[in-house]
Structure 1
């Protein structure tokens, strides 16, 4: 049987209240008595169940989510998943506050991270922007003992504790494999629509995409990247201009979230030609485009899983507990119109 606090009290010859004070590092215990209790803990091999202790105390975990205020369907879905987590707050013993910032704005993200640090929450989750000033702000949180989880887009080389998102290089490689096979050996250019090269997930997807095309489909070339900043109107304008300028265009990879604009531009060209199109995130818009044959395949990440994962990890880190890596792995789902959920 696992030793209990009663066993510690009996072994050390002290009261349960004294054991509780020592375990929780509270004052009011003489040094000699504290040493006796700690010796009994070591002797018995007692391991404290922090999660159970916090549950018994009714501990609430204040968490901060920093999300971009972006006009795209995926981010709307991510916000909705956080709102659902807020609705579960009583059952999960969380108190979640959301800070919204402009998309792709490192300075605004730094301000939000520093504001969160001043609150000393149990943890912070953020959609990261790959910038040194953001790494510095994350380091300041770490110095205060505040766990940090990156969502959707990672921040390698920083002091963040965990990343809740898909392997974006693998996602880009998967997109290239699908595109190359769909094109069946044809040669020519393809276009890439990104949000911004400031975010690492977009850069990594492009890296994986380009690597597979170069190695396995060398007759397919990539045009200069279109940066639509995940804004539908901007994305539509950029895609429409590319379609007009490149009559030999074979396909298009939308690696960000500007898919409403992409779909609008493709619809506007009518039935003049057929492109192979790979996009990210299954939304109401990409689902309809899959069903209509405008998009050929969608790579999806489960925003709900990412939010739930971030919460579990932040709570575990706050308690000094290990993370169950297998539970927190975010899958890349591939949807065609034939297997839509």
Structure 2
């Protein structure tokens, strides 16, 4: 018989109490470091814990104490495909959190408006133990985050960071690296050609967009001097604005050979390019229905992606760890850059 395949039962607190020769209540007092237990008894329980390799179940302990947590996820009020997918993933993690007596509220704010975002964050301290927010790197937003932390609320930033704030963690990809990757793909797809490259982003106030732009400029100027970067256009991640912006670029620049959309709103860009029927290398972010269709048709050359499900789960795990003091596995929380071409869409 292959004993290596026999599952090993995890030791329970009842096992510890039996091994130490004490009551379950006494073992519980020792595990939770409550007073009123003789030193000799504490030592007996600790020996039993070590012998049985007992590990407490924090979720069960919280349920037993009736302890619960409420978290707020702050997402943009404007709709785009990536944020809609992220919202769907946040709703899904509610099923994982609920058995642990933790609950999620989704709040939508205008994350492009520092006044609106800061004001929305300011009203959360009395209602939530933790907040995950798409952040704007602005003094008022940083101050609002710092105030929440000062009042005992755990804060993680999601997708876009405010690194000089007192937030506990940032959940998202390495954005300068994403920009550099996009530039390398752009240069390689263009294969030594010279011409102009257009760039659209949501807002220069969003740190993730600015960092991607920096990485893109860094590689394009250093490795591909034949490519000229046009002035950056802001589309607020809105499909209609992006469509109009691309139509204007195509009309004004006959030598436009590349396009990089740093943010969302790819539906409008794909529409503008397909309407014009002018081939160029278009690099986009986030694998959505629009970018999938664009990859299949050849309108989109490559997509830089971040997994919204991983981000939602990571933010929830980090908030739970912050409010409970449980350990964090940083490798588990690293959000990796994914590259999709027509050949490897999942």
The structural deviation recorded for 1:36 is: 6.4
2:339: which partner in 1? 334
SS at match of 2:106: strand
Q: Is the 8 A contact 2:16 2:27 kept in 1?
A: no
Q: Which residue of 2 aligns with 1:183?
A: 190
What residue ranges of structure 2 are gaps of 5+ in the alignment?
A: 1-10
- After superposition, the C-alpha distances for 1:9-43 in whole angstroms (9 at most, x for unaligned) are xx9xx9876886787688xx6xxx59969x969x9
How do residues 43-54 of structure 1 correspond to structure 2 at under 5 angstroms?
49=56, 51=58, 54=61
- Name the CA shift for 1:261/1:202 in 2 (closer, same or farther; >3 Å): same
Aligned partner of 2:109 in structure 1 is: 101
Counterparts of 1:312 and 1:65, CA distance in 2: 13
> For 1:202, which of 204, 209, 220 is the aligned residue?
209
Post-superposition CA distance 1:203-223 (Å, at most 9, x none): 000010000111111221211
Q: Deviations over 1:166-190 (max 9, x none)?
A: 1111100000000000111111210
- Residue ranges of structure 1 left out of the alignment (5+ in a row): none
CA distance in structure 2 between the aligned counterparts of 1:216 and 1:35, rounded to whole angstroms: 71
Counterparts of 1:297-336 in structure 2, within 5 Å, are 297-336=302-341
Report the counterpart of residue 245 of structure 1 in structure 2.
252
Partner of 1:66: 74
After the TM superposition, which residues 256-275 of structure 1 pair with which residues of structure 2 at under 5 Å, given as runs?
Answer: 256-270=263-277, 273-275=278-280
| Cα distance in 1 for residues equivalent to 2:38 and 2:109 | 50
Name which of 283, 286, 291 aligns with 2:288. 283
Partner of 1:214: 221
Question: C-alpha deviations, 1:98-149, integer Å up to 9, x for none?
Answer: 111124111111122122112142x110001111111111111111222111
Q: Distance in 1 between matches of 2:324 and 2:15?
A: 22
Q: Secondary structure at the match of 1:189?
A: strand
Contact 1:50 1:319 in 2 (8 A): no
Q: Of the candidates 150, 154, 170, which is equivalent to residue 177 of structure 2?
A: 170
Deviates more, 1:309-318 or 1:57-66: 57-66
Separation (CA, whole Å) in 1 of partners of 2:141 and 2:61: 32
Query: Residues 248-306 of structure 1, C-alpha deviation per residue, up to 9 Å, x if partnerless?
Result: 01100011002011111111212xx3101100001111100110111100111110110
Distance in structure 2 (CA, Å) of the matches to 1:16 and 1:108: 52
CA distance in 1, matches of 2:43, 2:298: 69
The aligned length equals 332
> Are 1:254 and 2:261 matched, yes or no?
yes
Judging changes above 3 Å, is the alpha-carbon distance between structure 1 residues 146 and 40 closer, same or farther for their aligned structure 2 residues?
Answer: farther
Please point out which of 85, 98, 108 is paired with 1:90. 98
1:207-249 deviation per Cα after TM superposition (whole angstroms, max 9, x unaligned): 1000011111122121111100011111111111111000001
The equivalent residue for 2:4 is: none
Give the SS at the match of 2:193. Answer: coil
Greater shift, 107-116 or 280-289, is seen at 107-116
- TM-score, structure 2 as length reference: 0.85
Give the Cα separation in 2 of the matches to 1:187 and 1:200: 30
